[in-house]
Amino acid sequence: MYIKRTLWRNESMRRPTGFSVVELMIAVALGVLVTLSLLAVFLNISRTNNEMAKTNMQVENGRFALQILESDIQHAGFWGGFVPTFDSLVFDGTPNDVPTAVPDPCLPLSNWDAVYRANVLGVPISIHDTPPGTCDTELDTNDEPVIANQQPNTDILVVRYADRCIPGEANCEADLAGRVYFQPSLCAESAQSGTATTIRLAASSATSPEAFEGATIRIVGGSGFGQDRQITSYDGSSTTATVSPGWAAAVDSSSIYTIGADDYVLTDSGFDLRGRSCNTAAPKRKYVSNIYYVRSYAADIGDGVPTLMRASLDFDEEEDELRYRVEPLIEGIEGLRFELGIDGISKTSEPVQLDQALAWQDPTSRTTPRNRGDGIADTACNTASGCGHLDLANAVLAKVFVLTRTVDQTRGASDQRTYCLATLNASGNCPAGYLYTPTVGAQQQYSRHVFSSSVRLHNIAGRRDTP
């Protein structure tokens, strides 16, 4: 009995009794600490990922904004082969299309006259600190002003050119009645001979008697330069056109002519100019006029998200009229500034004089003009200094400055830096009016970055390049 009792006692002492209350409390406390640590790590990682996503979006927005602006600026001044006479190195007369003012991009089509059209072609790019012309009163396709709620201390960019594609071609918009197109006169042929009342056109000219009857013929080079006459009859077999009235100055085989009353058509109808062969119609291209500016909100007024906007001139089929279509492009664009490089000095270091006939360093070789630009920027202008219409006609370079901002705030952030949206002056300082400093409070809880780029205006600078 003694032995059995001892065994029973030893077995009962070995039975598990579980955790005590103290042990359970310690285990729970440790579990809570581990869980809190894991939660803190997760929150930190999540916060870091959110900030990285904000920064990545900010960087992409800045790059995308530059890409859009660069692409449009590069096309400024493209007119499908047409060159204004003041910028032509083959026009010997005194130019009559030198810009006289900066054109109002929002002027209704009914008010476009010859002077306005010449200014449009002569000033393909312009910058403004406030809505130009009537852009704050003319209505867009949404029945709102074309430019409204502009972000303070930002610039407005206007870019004009003829579209690269021809309506009806692959990947190009269809020809639409009411839309504004640009058609240049590309017809320029050498005459075979002439009399007091006739001119014998190029041998490749059309043979149909009706081909040129009633058309206007213009002498643009050689003997008889500057005369316009109407063709009253045409003999296709000899390519001889009879004009009325007769020539005031003799026309001969050195005369160069064009067919058509105008050098170009820029409107919504009357596209009767001829191509290079003078027998077929010249191609017409959609007239592109884009306005870029920064609006102080994205979707709703007061939401505080500055947004890059683009207004594009087009025909509104619903309203049956020409209007600007305004669309938001990129959110978080807080600043937008431009500088233009001006080609005001010729290769011979003489001032550019667009209103005078060409003067050559060597009249025989005719390779270096003394009073036309060389395609290189000599000075600069911006909205603070003011860019006049002649400055803009000589613009060959554009510098773009874009200040991006994260769309959402970062708690605890404090952006107290300053940002310069211009080229530093000779003293190494930012020009007055182009230094941006976030205001105290909520505006400092965003991350910002300045992007900049220089864009050559190929269509203006390229035609001034000489050997």
pLDDT tens-place values along the chain, 467 residues long: 455 555 555 555 556 666 777 777 888 888 888 888 887 777 777 666 676 777 788 889 999 999 999 999 999 999 998 999 899 888 878 888 999 999 999 999 999 999 999 999 999 999 999 999 999 999 999 999 999 999 999 999 999 999 999 998 888 989 999 999 999 988 888 999 999 999 999 988 888 888 888 888 888 888 998 888 999 999 999 999 999 999 999 999 999 888 876 789 999 998 988 888 787 889 999 999 999 999 999 999 999 899 999 999 999 888 888 999 999 999 999 999 999 999 999 999 999 999 999 999 998 888 899 999 999 999 999 999 999 999 999 999 999 999 998 888 777 677 788 999 999 998 999 998 899 988 766 677 888 899 999 999 999 999 998 87
Could you please report the per-residue DSSP string of 404-447? EE-SS--TT------EE-S---TTS-PPTT-EE-PPSGGGGSS-
Could you tell me if 263 and 84 are in contact, meaning their C-beta atoms sit under 8 angstroms apart? no
What lies within 8 Å, CB to CB, of 297 at 6+ separation is: 149, 303, 304, 305, 306, 307
CB within 8 A of 398, min separation 6: which ones? 73, 125, 338, 339, 340, 341, 454, 455, 457
Amino acid at 396: V
Strand partners, 325: 312
Q: Where on the phi/psi map is residue 61: left (φ > 0), alpha (ψ -120 to 50), or beta?
A: alpha
Global pTM value: 0.83
Virtual torsion, Cα 147, 148, 149, 154, nearest 10 deg: 20
